[in-house]
Structure 1
Amino acid sequence: MKTVLSLLLGLFIIWAMYRDTNMGELWTITRSANFWVIAFSLIFGLIGNVLRGLRWELFVHSLGYHPPRASVIYATLGNYAVNFVLPRAGDLWRCGVVSRYDHIPFSKTLETFLIDKMVDIISGLTVILLSVLLYIDFFVSYFRNNPQFAENVHGLFSSVWTYLVLAAMLLAVIVISTFFRRSWLMIKIRRFVNTLRYDLKLISDIKEKKRIIIYTILLWLCFYLYFYICFYAFDFTSDLGPLAGLIVFAMTNIGISVPVQGGIGPWHFMVISSLMILGVAENEALAFAGAVFTIQSVWQI
């Protein structure tokens, strides 16, 4: 049910943005694109995903396991296809494939994946922070034109339900740790935490830190080019420049963080609203988002 609801949410966002659009005009704008440029951008998407697989391989090696490189890269590439069916399920599938076929405990692949994911979260936040520092006026305009974001944040922190839920979660932790500390489940959790702490120490002592940093920088550069090169496929975005590309790219990272299949809906909203603030006409922004998302999604699947 949760999966269906998340998909419906994404489709509703798409419908809300495109419902009043003249589809004939939208198709005319889309056909004017240079699809060879978009096709060229796909190369960087593939390279970025391969680099992500190579980086994950280093984390797996740090625990003493050495699966075939092709297996790790295949699992990383397949991750995105599965996410289009079930949000975030591709992450577990990726760990499960390597665990099953390369005879590595699932808990170990999951641990290394979580570390790999944490590196990407930090990198994504760094990209967002960098874009804010370089172009603060854009974000002021963005929140001024989309006041619902500030209203939602204010509503979250001012709602009594937020604090009731936090208090209930804290109470549940206290009760479980006090009265069920000797239960089978708690013993299992403590063992997992102890193992995780030991494995984290092994990972922190990894000798390949420089390669991890290099892979991370290169893969994020590739993903940036994967998106930004598409600006040159349309006349109305070709003159926006690399900084504008960085800003919209940063906003797409916020969009894909929403647990919806493939980021469908939130990704479109972030791209369209960002391009419009940068001076792109609404129909042109709609055409850009629709064409780029569709082609890149088919490529990833």
Structure 2
Amino acid sequence: MRLSTKQWIQVGISLVVAIWIFWFLYKDVKMESLLEALQQASLFWIFMSVFISVLGYGLRAWRWKLLIEGDVGKKVKSSHSFWALMVGYLVNLLVPRAGEVARCGVLKRTDNLQVSKLLGTVILERMIDLLFLLGVMVLAFVVEHEVFVQLAGDLVSLETLAVSLKSYMPLLLGGVILIGIILNWVRKRYRDHGLVQKFQHFMREFFQGMKSLRQVTHPKSFWMASTCIWIIYFLMMYFVAIAIPSTANLSPSAVLMVMVMGSIGMIAPVQGGIGTFHALVAFILMTYGLTEEEGKIIAVIIHSSQVLTVLLLGALGLFMVAKITLVAKLKPEKLRSK
């Protein structure tokens, strides 16, 4: 996948921002404190977190395979979708969001599938993940309602906000209507503009992907896999929490809040959620009584274990893809020689 000069500049800017956020967060954290935390941590539970995360990647690859087979109508090996997925995650560590295109490119090489068709399934997959994230956020709000109220109260007075909303409700409604009129005018006036066309293309791909859900051969398995993926995300966090003495006593609902904040941090358009993940996880852990340094150290342990896993599996994925492609090329030659 080739990037234009403009895209490389965007990548460079996002990387600089990520490094700056990370440096700003950890400039006061002593290396001795991090090493001491690692010595006190249970390597067994950290290993279990990594192990179950690999199972999660496998489950995600299998779910993607179901989407592809339903949309394209062609069988895909689970191993092929798994290595494509890991290569995609590896690329995301360098270029945010480019991994989605990269994994489609891998399956084009290994299974000769159209990238445009595969992108539709990836977009749908991301939309489904977003819906599950919203559902998890609602669940976290229900089980940790007091924490949400406390955070909101620290940021803004709820009573003042309620009075302001009541006073300015007519103005807000008028603003929403005006924005809707402006957006409609922009859509009609600039319908041939590149950004508008990209958005329209995105929506077409999304609705096309939604139709492919009806064609999934095992719909119950698909939704069960989607649910299990998020359960695995929770267990990844929970096992690391158990491994570290300062978080070993956190309740499952508190770990759920940490998972929500970490997931939001990973959405940010920076390489691998560097900085944003650490900031949000450390922030929410401080709400549960941990010191700022403890929260930052735990965030870096969680993030680093997953980044190392992606680096190893992604590098192995590049090797496996090259091997699969080479074997596919050699087969016709062997048949011709016979």
TM-score (norm 1): 0.84
- Number of the residue aligned with 2:66: 58
- Number of the residue aligned with 1:174: 188
The 5-angstrom pairing of residues 1-301 of structure 1 reads 1-63=9-71, 64-145=73-154, 170-177=184-191, 200-301=210-311
Q: Is the 8 A contact 1:53 1:76 kept in 2?
A: yes
State the distance in 2 between where 1:236 and 1:196 align: 43
Q: Which SS does the other structure have where 1:236 is aligned?
A: helix
Alpha-carbon shift at residue 211 of structure 1 (Å): 0.7
State the distance in 2 between where 1:24 and 1:164 align: 56
Structure 1 residue ranges, 4+ long, deviating more than 3 angstroms after superposition: 143-147, 162-172, 188-200
**Residues 117-156 of structure 1, C-alpha deviations (whole Å, 9 max, x = no match):** 1111111111111001111111223344456xxx9xx9xx
State the distance in 2 between where 1:281 and 1:196 align: 43
- Number of the residue aligned with 2:322: none
1:66/1:167 CA distance change after superposition, 3 Å: same
State the distance in 2 between where 1:272 and 1:47 align: 26
Q: Which SS does the other structure have where 2:129 is aligned?
A: helix
State the distance in 1 between where 2:204 and 2:278 align: 42
Q: Is the 8 A contact 2:46 2:239 kept in 1?
A: yes
1:169/1:7 CA distance change after superposition, 3 Å: farther
Q: Which SS does the other structure have where 2:296 is aligned?
A: helix
Q: Is the 8 A contact 1:41 1:229 kept in 2?
A: yes
Identity %: 27
Instruction: Give unmatched runs, 5+ long, in structure 2.
Output: 1-8, 166-171, 312-338
1:232/1:199 CA distance change after superposition, 3 Å: closer
1:231/1:104 CA distance change after superposition, 3 Å: same
The higher radius of gyration belongs to 2
**Residues 231-250 of structure 1, C-alpha deviations (whole Å, 9 max, x = no match):** 11111100112111111111
Q: Which SS does the other structure have where 2:247 is aligned?
A: coil
TM-score (norm 2): 0.75
1:223/1:199 CA distance change after superposition, 3 Å: closer
